[in-house]
Every structure is written in C-alpha cells, then in structure tokens.
Amino acid sequence: MPPSEVNRMQHNGSIVKVKHLQKWFPLRKGLIASLVRTKELFIKAVDDVSFEIRHNEIVGLVGESGCGKTTTGRVILRLIDPTGGQIQFDGSDITSLNQKQLKPLRKRMQIVFQNPYESLNPRMKVNTILSSPLKIQRLEEPSKIEDQVLKALEGVGLVPAEEFLNRYPHELSGGQRQRMVIARAFILEPRFVVADEPVSMLDISIRNEILGTLLAKKEQYKTAILFITHDLSLARNVCGRLVVMYLGKIVEIGDAEDIVQKPLHPYTQALVAAVPVPDPNTKRGDIPASDEVPDPLDLPRGCRFHPRCPYVMDICKTEEPKLIETAEGRSVACHLVK
C-alpha cells in the first residue's frame, strides 16, 4: 500500500481498518496422505488485504463468487480468526482478542447474513430471537425488553408488531425473515454492520423494499456498512466506494461511480462488462478470453488474473503487482497502470 494511502487511513476517522489481512484454510488430508510427509496446502481465501471503512460510510466489497468477500467480512468481525495481519475497530486493535474480550464489542459490530432462514434458529420464536442480544449484553431491564423488541419490529416494517412475537421463522415469508434479521442486527444500535449479500436470496419484487429498510436503519444510527455483493450495478447505487476482490486479493479501490464509469483493472472491466444493459448494441468493452478460474490450491505466479487477462504481458506471469495509488485517487494492482 502506498504511503499516502496509509497516512489517509490514519487521519480520516475510520471505524474499521484492515492491514495485510490473511485467512488461509489448511486443506484436510485423507488417511493415507496424513501418514506421508507432504507439504501442507492452503486455500488463501484472504491474502494480504488492506482497506478502510470510514464512519457512516457504505463500502462495497465486490467480486465473483469464491473470491473471498464473505470470509473477509467474517474475519473483520472476528467470527473466524485471521491467519495474519491486523484488524482495527474504532481505534482499537482487535486482532488477538479472545471471545470474552470481544463480547462488549459485539453490540457495536453486527452482521446481516445472506440466507435469513439459515441464520435463524428454527426452534426460537421471534420474541426470543430479538430479545436474546439485549439479554446477553444486559442493555435493558427485563421489564423493558419486550417494548424494545416491538419497537425493533415496527422499525423494519413488521406491523402490527404484536402479531409477530410468537411466530417461528418458518411462519414468515422470505422478506419478513430478512426484515427480522435486519432488526436483530440493529437492535443493539451498532456502529458497524457487515451486510453479506442482504437481498440476493429475495424475489426481485421486494428487494428494493428490504434494501430501503437496511439503508433507513443505517441512517437512523449513523452506522458504517461493509456491503458484500457480486452485483456491481447494485453496489454502484448503494455504496460510496468499492473494493474489488479477485482470488483473495484486492485489485482496485475507488469511488463507486468512478470505478463503474472507468474501470482500470482488467478484472474490474470484465465485471462492468458483465452487467446487463437495456440496449444490446451498447459497447461492453473487453471481456477476458477465458472464464476458467485458476485452482485456488495452485494459484498462478505473478498476477493471479493473468491467465484470463486479455492484456497479459510477460511481467504479469512472474511478478505480482502491488496496489498503487493513481493520479485519479484510485488504488489499482495492475502492471498496466502506472
């Protein structure tokens, strides 16, 4: 990361900073392989990732499925432990905190999962699900907890709220479940939320409503959001800045509109070209010659995108590009960009 980027991260009041973040998953071996001395293999889901999220900002983390977006979000929240690097939350280093030390921070950082049905306990009623965070954090007197739950339900459009208290998740529609997940995340009034594909599991007819609910809660509590999505057109409309990932690496960071209008990295250009447009005659730009993603256990040398890149040069095959800042204020990891 260039010195100017590091200095900006240190002086602009960021709520989240990650520096050289890594999460490597060891490959499980079979019985025979475990008896033979062989080199341990890792899936480098997150590999030397650095970026920031400012207070009350929405940053989009975009890329293809399997690029490491969800893992990045979960590591930042310490739902899974990092392999290396540093995580700063609201000025404090939380990289090595244990679960007891993290507990007081949980009310300030939350997550909205992609699949609301899988993230809700099917044996718990709505009242129990939403009251549990308040009880665990001991933020309300027992006599006031139900009032807070009713207020949270009303705040996400589940009205009349009293009718939802004794329902189980399977008795709710997909949209209602996602509203409840948003209510659970914001009932503690967090400073930071990871929204992991929050509308991708929903019908197109209700996506805008759910997205509007999420953004309304964000404005209510002035919450910063890491918005994880593979939908670049959605990210463009929701996020102020974008972080583009490919195979565990960041390839481009910048203003959302600037990136969509003028993508600099060939991978970002491919993502923009893949966004559907009403006019089929619209010029889409260059699309990578190959859609074959490299084996994550056998990553290519040099630039990880070079086997698919239409502009590949010899240096791309041997030397990994560094994330550098351009004159436009963009950060790009590509040998084509000077």
CB of 153 within 8 A of CB of 130? yes
Confidence category of residue 7, pLDDT binned at 50, 70, 90: very low
Asked if residue 9 has pLDDT above 70, the reply is no
Rounded mean pLDDT of 54-58? 97
Q: What is the pLDDT of residues 239-286, one digit of tens each?
A: 999 999 999 999 999 999 999 999 999 999 999 988 877 666 655 555
Nearest C-alpha neighbor of 109 from the set 86, 141, 66, 75: 75
DSSP 309: -
Residue 83: how many other CB atoms lie within 10 Å: 17
Write down the residue that tokens 């010659």 correspond to: 289
Backbone conformation region of residue 70, classed left if phi is above 0, alpha if psi is from -120 to 50, else beta: alpha
| pLDDT score of 235 | 95
| pLDDT score of 295 | 87
Quick one: fold of 3-29+40-123+168-332? Rossmann fold (3.40.50)
- Cis before 82? omega within 30: no
